[in-house]
Structure 1
Amino acid sequence: MNVSHAVNELFFSYAEMFYGGLGRFTGGRARLAVRADAAPVFCRARPLPYALRERVDAELDAMLRAGVIEPVECSDWATPLVIVNKSDGAIRICADYKVTLNRVLSVDKYPVPKIDDLLSQLGGSKFFSKIDLSQAYNQI
């Protein structure tokens, strides 16, 4: 079996994974371990340039329709948004959790492998792939 045939077979076997839209995990709900002694942190919104408001509103509406975000009536928690310009001219809406949520999370102590260690294991490999997750900053 040649590589091209194997890739096509893989693609057709898992076609639903490659349809191009934003996927959704339905195997459970993600839970963040907030320390028991943590108090909610509320940060005011950062100033948003007027020129970006329409694009930010449109992106937030798209995220709402896609189920990435959901409205809440009121919350003791608030994290400032960070708007990033993408190379294609679109915007990316990010949240600055380092000033709020990250400070009160119980951190998993499992060590993340070092990139050098991972790369050293690739010696002798013949095929490599690059996977670009759509809107990967929202992946948990």
Structure 2
Amino acid sequence: MKIILNVKLFKANLQVKEAIPVYHKAYDVPYALLGQLGQQLEELQNSGKIIPIKHCAWVSPIVLVPKKQGSLRMCVDFKVAQNKVLNVDYYPLLKREDLVASLAGRKIFFCVKLGRKSIPYVTMNNQGLFQWTRLP
């Protein structure tokens, strides 16, 4: 069976409870890793997945997680602020094994764009402030 998804027309919109915004300072990053972080941020900027900004009320810190092969995975610690105020729709998810099996052999992955009003809630902090234009 062939399934075609047109995600270009879809934009994710985060539903947020009324709350006082939280600006969380950046976590410390070892000096030896600052170059790799800067390179990842530059690549994300050049691809249009993040945009630099001057200020925002909702800000979460970047967390660097080492991968087995020595590179770094850049994550954002949204649990310090945004996760607490999101209205989440709960529905049953596939088991991890079923999801992995359904993706076997796939080489194309896509990022879902965010609606304009949702972008301030996905701001990250390190080497400046950056907002995601897609779901991180």
TM-score range, shorter chain: 0.5 to 0.7
CA drift of 1:87 comes to 2.3
1:73 positional shift: 2.0
% identical aligned pairs: 32
Unaligned runs of 5+ in 2: 112-133
- Which TM-score applies when normalising by structure 1? 0.63
- 2:65–2:74: 8 Å Cα contact kept in structure 1? yes
Paired residue for 1:91?
A: 72
How many residues are matched? 109
AA aligned opposite 2:43: A
CA RMSD of superposed structures (Å): 3.3
Q: Is the 8 A contact 2:12 2:135 kept in 1?
A: no
1:40–1:81 CA distance, 2 compared to 1 (3 A): same
Q: How far has the Cα of 1:72 moved from its partner?
A: 1.5
Letter in 2 for 1:96: D
Q: TM-score, normalised by structure 2?
A: 0.64
Q: Which residue of 2 aligns with 1:55?
A: 36
Which residue identity lines up with residue 98 of structure 1 in the other structure? Answer: K
Residue from 1, 5, 8 that aligns with 1:26: 8
Distance 1:128 1:95 in 2: 25
Structure 1, unmatched stretches of 5+, are: 1-9, 15-24
- In structure 2, the CA distance between the partners of 1:29 and 1:73, relative to structure 1 (3 Å rule), is farther
Report the structure, 1 or 2, having the larger strand content. 2
Displacement of 1:115 in angstroms is 5.4
> Aligned in 2, Cα 1:115/1:55: closer, same or farther, shift over 3 Å?
closer
Q: 1:134: how far off?
A: 5.5
| Letter of the 1:69 counterpart | I
Q: How does 1:1-140 map to 2 (within 5 A)?
A: 25-35=7-17, 37-114=18-95, 129-131=104-106
